[in-house]
Amino acid sequence: MYSILIVDDEEPVLESYTYMIRNGDLDLEVCGAARSGSEAITLARESRPDIVVMDIAMPGMDGLDTIRELRKMYPDALYILSTAYERFDLAQRAIPLRVFEYLVKPVSRRRFLETMIHATEVLEKRRKDVTPGEVGRDEEDFLLLLTWKTFDPQEWNRYREMLRFSSDFGRVLVIALDYVPESQSREEARARITGKLERRFRIFFTDHMGYLLLFIPETTDTEEGLDRYVRESIRPLATENLRFRVGLGDRRQYNELYLSYEHALQEIARVAGDPEQEEDRFFLQMRYLVARAHADGDLCERCREHCEREFVRLPFPVARSRMIVLFTLLLEDLAVRSGREQADLLLRRIGDPARAITAIENRRDWDAWAGRALRLLLEYSTKLSLDRYPAPLRSAIAYIDSEFQREINLKSLAEYCSVSSGYLSRLFSEHLNTTFNDYLNNTRIEAAEHYLVEGKLSVKEIAYRTGYNDPNYFSRIFKKYKGLSPTSYLSRKGAHAE
């Protein structure tokens, strides 16, 4: 018996589809009926549907955006679009979502049942074709997680057993298909590439951020000539109309696979003599950093440094225009990961990037706006990561982020989270690659940077505002983490103002 989720904002449609399923002698069970995209996501988390019938035109998050979110959680489910009208632009948006079927209302009973029978047949064939140990949904989850997550031993052992890895090491491969002609689909090009690699290696692959993302787990013969084999086996597949860029990450242990992914991205963006590739690399790096929110305690400063280089490299008006593009992309990325509602909420807080950034006339105003915008953007992105952390760590992070101006120590925070100090300290180390003290100080220093750039408070006032009762101690900590004192830091920032 397979489960099906029905999503439509019209009650008669929900009732009609439910009735036909329950009385159609189908191997299906209705696991939920949702009236909006957000309700569909909530119900899907509870029921893990095998099939989703989705209306397109709904208030708030439309059906296509909802499917985009559901596919991240349940990539193996079959998605069927249901709409009252045919539109070519909607059909085009549905193509990359790999929608199984497209139903135009009013849907006849015969057409509906035929579609459901076909869907269950596909699911049944897929179930029979899967050999023991193959778990497509978990494989997809693993590939997406390795792009940003630091796996702890327990998580890794679960995936290692599930996907039958023979080693704790592996490498990430990223391939860009620069041009695929109309005569050849992306799926066909991907099949040719993966088919070549599968002749020698066991690989796992999926589409991610417009690239073909692959993981090659290490075996006894994986490392020998890997780089040469990958490039030499793929190069002959290139034609006049089909070109590749290949990025092969370095060998990493399970808890550092995200670094192999980052290395692969750097490789794929490094095209000699092509300035456009350097510009693309900037956007790619920034989007990657924000997607890894909360995995790096000094993330906000790293993002600022990337933007800083753009203002040094380019005239102010040009760099400012690129920042408009960047923040527009970051907002779109957030909408893809968390839904349009979250992105719109953030947009109301930072303002429309095009309007806000165009009004900026000097570096000092840019630093102030960007500092706040990046902080808010990272806060929203962080919320997406928090769900993957143990509950005590989530509580600790939330408390520090909101109460960092208070006196906080590991013992009192552990009591607040109802765990031991040792256990909480280990959670910071395993999941965030940092210590409790470093996380607390980074949070405080990041807030202090914002106040310094804003220029409304003295150093002494900033020290008290960020949880340091001794301004001299605050200055020493600031210099330890930033390499210079608060006054020197402010002077350096002021030197960029126009």
Reply yes or no: is the peptide bond before residue 12 cis, omega within 30 of 0. no
Instruction: Give the C-alpha distances (Å, rounded to integers) separating 322 from 302, 307, 313, 353, 357.
Output: 18, 10, 12, 11, 10
Answer whether 314's CB lies under 8 Å from 322's CB. Answer: yes
Closest to 232 in 3D by CA, of 242, 244, 241, 250:
244
Residue 70 near residue 52 (C-beta atoms within 8 A): yes
Q: What is the signed CA dihedral for 453, 454, 459, 460, rounded to 10 degrees? A: -150
If you search the block for the tokens 């939330």, which residue do you land on?
398
Q: How far apart are CA 99 and CA 81, in angstroms?
A: 7
pLDDT per residue over 209-225, tens digit each? Answer: 667 889 998 865 555 56
Q: How far apart are the first and last CA of the chain?
A: 67
Kindly tell me if the per-residue pLDDT of 6 is higher than 80: yes
Among residues 257, 289, 283, 69, the alpha carbon closest in space to that of 145 is found at 257
Q: Find, among 279, 272, 364, 365, the residue nearest to 326 by Cα.
A: 279
pLDDT score, position 295: 42
pLDDT score recorded for residue 375: 79
483: Cβ–Cβ under 8 A, 6 or more apart, which residues? none
The answer on pLDDT for 468 being more than 70 is yes
Q: Specify the residue for token string 């953007």.
A: 377
Cβ atoms of 84 and 104 within 8 Å: the answer is: yes
Confidence of residue 53 (pLDDT cuts 50, 70, 90): very high
CB 195 within 8 Å of CB 272: no
Residue 396 tokens, joined: 């600790």
Provide the token pair at 392. Answer: 């005590």
Question: Residue range 386-396: average pLDDT?
Answer: 77
Q: How confident is the model over 164-177, as pLDDT tens digits?
A: 887 889 999 988 87
At 184 the pLDDT is: 54
Query: What is d(CA 106, CA 17) in angstroms, rounded to the nearest whole number?
Result: 11
- Does the pLDDT of residue 26 top 90, yes or no? no
Can you tell me the distance from the alpha carbon of 3 to that of 51, in angstroms, rounded to the nearest whole number? 6
Q: Is 213 helix (H, G, I), strand (E, B) or coil?
A: strand
**Tell me, what amino acid is at 356?**
A
pLDDT in tens, 415-426: 999 888 888 988
- Above 50 in pLDDT, residue 127? yes
% of the chain surpassing 70 pLDDT: 79
Give the largest CA-CA distance in the chain. Answer: 78
Q: Are 98 and 185 in contact (CB under 8 A)?
A: no
The mean per-residue pLDDT over the stretch 145-173 comes to: 84
**Residues paired with residue 338 on neighbouring β-strands, in sequence order:** none
pLDDT at 179: 58
Q: For residue 455, give both structure tokens.
A: 């220029």
Alpha helices (H) in 74-185, listed in sequence order: 88-94, 109-129, 136-145, 153-163
pLDDT of residue 225: 67
Element (H, E) at 246: strand 244-248
Q: Cα separation of 373 and 367, whole Å?
A: 10
Of 12-16, 98-102, 159-163, 381-385, least confident by mean pLDDT is: 381-385
Residue pair 350/376 in contact (Cβ under 8 Å)? The answer is yes
Quote the pLDDT of residue 219: 64
pLDDT tens, position by position, 269-302: 664 334 444 445 566 667 766 765 554 445 666 6
Q: Residues with Cβ < 8 Å from 55, sequence gap 6 or more?
A: 7, 8, 9, 10, 13, 63, 82, 83
Report pLDDT for 463: 92
Query: What's residue 183's pLDDT?
Result: 47
Kindly report whether the peptide bond that precedes residue 96 is cis, defined as omega within 30 degrees of 0.
no
- Listed residue (311, 345, 313) closest to 331, CA to CA: 345
325-359 pLDDT, tens per residue? 888 888 877 776 666 776 777 788 788 888 888 88
Residue 354: HSE in the Cβ half-sphere, 13 Å Cα cutoff: 2
